[in-house]
Amino acid sequence: YNRPGLYEQLFYRRLKCSSPKKVAKILGEALLANRVEMSELRVLDLGAGNGMFGEQLQSVGTARVVGVDICAEAMTACRRDRPGIYDEYYVADFCDLDSQTRQELEAWRFDCLSCVAALGFGDIPARAFANAFNMVAPSGWVAFNIKDSFLLESDTSGFSRLIKSLLLSDALEIHHMERYRHRISIDGQPLFYYALVGKKLFDIPESIMANLVVD
């Protein structure tokens, strides 16, 4: 993040990461199918980084986009490289939000959560994602991507258990789910992810939240 353009050069040009455009595309298609205007959404972009996905959201005229990342360097890079992408950007830990930050975030009245290329490898703990999910209004939208192995029955990691619980509890109604090539690895092998877009029906139950360990 400290070197302008290095992140894009490595991940998006050399390793051909396609996730921001892919997730934005299927979110747009799901909203169109449900007669929801992108221009009406108030989006919480969790793990916003230097604004790659926020840039996609801004390009389609989303009403409000608020970025959140635990890394202060990410916010600095975003403001340097993509000024004006976010209406606000918070450096915050969603596993341990202070009351002031929580109140400010809740005041935005989010009806969409996005989280792209930031889940399942310890970057964003399962509890942080769950807390962000619960900040979105009922009937709001959720768009994210995860490595394909997280949906295998053999994967028992905390994040894998959370996603499976979301689907089984009907807290998230899936409208589109697609396996695609996220990027290539350093040695040239394709890395496959699932892109998911759905509608939040209700908060993640406390019975599930209680079992999410903060790493």
State the SS3 of 95-143.
CCCCHHHHHHHHCCCCCEEEECCCCCCCCCCHHHHHHHHHHCCCCCEEE
Asked whether the CA dihedral 74, 204, 163, 17 is positive or negative, the reply is negative
Q: Residue written as tokens 């799901």?
A: 30
pLDDT at residue 16 in the model? 54
Q: Packing angle between helix 52-59 and helix 19-33, nearest 10 degrees?
A: 40
Looking at the DSSP assignment, which residues form a beta bridge with residue 139?
A: none
pLDDT at residue 190 in the model? 76
Amino acid symbol at 189 = Q
pLDDT tens for the chain, 215 residues long, are 566 665 555 455 545 567 888 899 999 999 999 999 999 999 999 999 999 899 999 888 899 999 999 999 999 999 999 999 999 999 999 999 999 999 999 999 999 999 987 665 556 888 899 999 999 999 999 999 888 766 666 666 667 788 888 878 789 999 999 888 766 666 667 778 888 999 999 999 888 877 765 54
pLDDT at residue 20 in the model? 86
**Are 85 and 116 spatial neighbours (Cβ–Cβ below 8 Å)?**
no
Please give the model's pTM, rounded to 2 decimal places.
Answer: 0.88
Amino acid symbol at 113 = L
Helix (H) or strand (E) holding 164: helix 158-169
pLDDT at residue 75 in the model? 96
pLDDT at residue 12 in the model? 52
pLDDT at residue 215 in the model? 47
- Which residues fall within 8 angstroms of residue 127, CB to CB, at 6 or more apart? 94, 95, 209, 212, 213, 214
pLDDT at residue 70 in the model? 94
